[in-house]
Amino acid sequence: MNRIKTLAAAAAAMLLLAGCASPALRGSGDLGVVIERANGSVQVVDNSHLTPLSRVQGLGDLSHASLVYSRDARYVYVFGRDGGISKVDILAGKLVARVLQAGNSIGGAISSDGRIVAAQNYSPGGVKLFDAETLAPLADIPALDDNGQPSKVVGLADLPGNRFAFSLFEAGEIWLLDAANPRAPVVTKYRNVGRQPYDGLASGDGRYYIAGLYGEDGLALLDNWHPDAGVRRILPGYGQGQDKQPVYKMPHLRGWSLAGDYAFLPAIGHNTVLVADSRSWQEAARVPVYGQPVFVMAEPSGRRVWVNFAFPHNDTVQVIDVPTMQVIKTLKPGRAILHMEFTARGDAVWLSSRDDDKLVVIDTQSFATVAELPAANPSGIFFSWRAGRMGM
Amino acid sequence: MKPPPASPSRLTLKCLLLLACSALFLYEAAHADPLLTVPQPARAAELRHLLRQDCGACHGLTLQGGLGSPLTARALADKPADSLVATLLDGRPGSAMPPWRPFISEDEARWLIRQLQQGEAP
């Protein structure tokens, strides 16, 4: 009798322990993180079951936040406007480390070996490198031009071989950072790349780095297979003969702009998506759209390109059919659509509607809304497939 | 507020008086008595939203600055309100600051700038 009691107690204890110790095992391949910009929080979501999993708070000012994934896709590094880097365990739903590394930051990147986190800062302008494990500082690269004038850093992207590229807004320069030795990185500077680069992207293979220019019509292209050839201008003078309209929101560039044979790029100050042939870098088409593009994102298949727009046209999303280079769908999914993110293979796209406090999940084949999820002032949506992609 | 056309001296005097009064009224409205130019609550909420979200896109949700300069009370303390209003309405050539005149009136711009300078922005 006693023995049975003891056994029962042991069994109960084991059950209790199992229950407490950890939740059921799960993968992170279908998870995502959504920035909730008003609250300084992020939501972890499951894009297979279209459900929120957890909310992590205390991440500071997330008014212009972005994040990158650790290569095991378990952690995200969230870069906040206040200069904070927050390391969040998305499986546990916990903030595990946080450093305040600058006064004003805009984003970051992670090295090809996954060991270095780089933050791009507005103030003081520059790039700082951190140990991805501990967030301990490794190096500080101030963005000072030849006259010692500071610049805001934009368009930081990772490249193969633990290198990074970024652009200097005021100075009009592109810098290549070789962080093979992360405590003593080596900088290569490209000067006079064009006026006021506002963002930059690296292609998914890490070969090309492209900076968009605010201060002139055109983009600056660096071919990393031929870094000695320097930076050249592409699509120069795309706005010629048309009045440039005021820009109420800067576009964003990332590797999603390149798909198949083309690069799809926002025309600053114009209601136009520019299409360049990604071998010759000559203009291939211009697609008139509803407003000034902010994100121009190719579906993972490259077959269609989704575009959202700057204020006051940010209630609309359009879809471009690539073979015909025509807009084939106009959607009004919610107020203030700030961001879009495809699932890894593009069966669905998630949109954030800031002013309707919701996420909208749309089937990319039928354009039907599959689900809406509540979120507080959502902006960026970042799915875990980014963990294994360059330039993301 | 165009100046009155040329007219006999009495009329000019009257006009000037009227002009002075209305200028005083406008000045009062803009600077002294906040009640006179405070937008209706619904519009004020819209303007606060615009300031926080759309100005915030460049200047930061907390107005600490970003691609755009900081808009905190401290940062704007020694800048003349008129030039700030002009920048808000007509933008700043050479910078990324666009004109907001299509979306807000002059009174609303004055109200927003006062909110910012007094540190009462949301």
CA A205 → CA A112, A161, A174, A209, B82, distances in Å?
Answer: 12, 12, 19, 10, 51
Q: Which of A286, A392, A388, A378 is nearest to A44 (CA)?
A: A378
Q: What is the mean pLDDT of residues A315-338?
A: 97
Judged by DSSP in three states, A55 sits in: strand
Cβ-based neighbours of A220, under 8 Å, separated by 6 or more: A167, A174, A193, A194, A197, A210, A211, A213, A231, A232, A233, A234
Q: Which of A317, A349, A312, A320 is nearest to A333 (CA)?
A: A317
Q: Report the DSSP beta bridge partners of residue A295.
A: A252
Q: What residue of B is the nearest CA neighbor of A80? A: B60
Summarised one tens digit per residue, pLDDT across range B48-106 is: 999 988 998 889 888 888 889 999 999 999 999 999 999 999 999 888 999 999 999 99
Q: Is it the case that residue B122 has pLDDT exceeding 70?
A: no
Q: Report the DSSP beta bridge partners of residue A131.
A: A116
**CB distance B89 to A90 below 8 Å:** no
- pLDDT tier, B2 (very low <50, low <70, confident <90, very high otherwise): very low
**CA B86, B88, B89, B90: dihedral to nearest 10 degrees?**
70
pLDDT at position B6: 45
- pLDDT tier, B28 (very low <50, low <70, confident <90, very high otherwise): very low
CB-count exposure of residue B80 (10 Å: 0-12, 13-18, 19+): exposed
Least confident of A147-161, A179-193, B34-48, B53-67: B34-48
Summarised one tens digit per residue, pLDDT across range B36-50 is: 578 999 999 999 999
- pLDDT tier, A55 (very low <50, low <70, confident <90, very high otherwise): very high
DSSP symbol at A252: B
Residue listed under structure tokens 């590094």:
A77
Which residues in chain A have their CB less than 8 angstroms from residue B57's CB? 64, 248-250, 311
Q: What is the mean pLDDT of chain A?
A: 93
pLDDT at position B66: 87
Q: Is it the case that residue B8 has pLDDT exceeding 50?
A: no
For a pLDDT cut of 70, what percent of chain A falls above it? 94
Q: What residue of A is the nearest CA neighbor of B89? A: A246
Least confident of A39-53, A152-166, A237-251, A373-387: A237-251
pLDDT at position B3: 45
Q: Is it the case that residue A21 has pLDDT exceeding 50?
A: yes
Enumerate chain B positions whose Cβ falls within 8 A of a Cβ in A: 49, 53-54, 56-58, 60-62, 64-67, 91, 96, 98-99, 103
Q: What is the largest CA-CA distance in chain A?
A: 95
Burial A111-126 (b: 16+ CB within 10 A, else e): bbebbbbbbbbbbbbb
Residues B83, B65: Cα–Cα separation, whole Å: 19
Token pair for A138: 């490794």
pLDDT at position A356: 97
Question: How many alpha carbons lie under 13 Å from residue A150 in its C-beta half-sphere?
Answer: 10
Which residues in chain A have their CB less than 8 angstroms from residue B98's CB? 246-248
Residue A209 or B7, more confident: A209
Q: With CB atoms and an 8 Å threshold, state whether B56 touches A196.
A: no
Q: Which strand (E) or helix (H) includes residue B23? A: helix B9-27
pLDDT at position B9: 54
Q: With CB atoms and an 8 Å threshold, state whether B61 touches A247.
A: no
Q: Which of A233, A313, A315, A217 is nearest to A267 (CA)?
A: A217
Q: With CB atoms and an 8 Å threshold, state whether B65 touches A104.
A: yes
| Among A82-86, A254-258, B54-58, the range of highest mean pLDDT | A82-86
Q: With CB atoms and an 8 Å threshold, state whether A104 touches B98.
A: no
- pLDDT tier, A158 (very low <50, low <70, confident <90, very high otherwise): very high
Burial A319-346 (b: 16+ CB within 10 A, else e): bbebeebebeeebebbebbbbbbbbeeb
Summarised one tens digit per residue, pLDDT across range A208-233 is: 999 999 999 999 999 999 999 999 99
**CB distance A76 to A382 below 8 Å:** yes
Q: How far is A359 from chain B (nearest CA, A)?
A: 18
Mutation site for B-interface testing, chosen from A41, A64, A355 by largest number of B Cβ within 10 Å: A64
Q: What is the DSSP string of A292-355?
A: -EEEEEE-TTSSEEEEEE-TTSTT-EEEEETTTTEEEEEE--SSSEEEEEE-TTSSEEEEEETT
Q: Which strand (E) or helix (H) includes residue A209? A: strand A208-213
Judged by DSSP in three states, A256 sits in: helix
DSSP symbol at A203: -
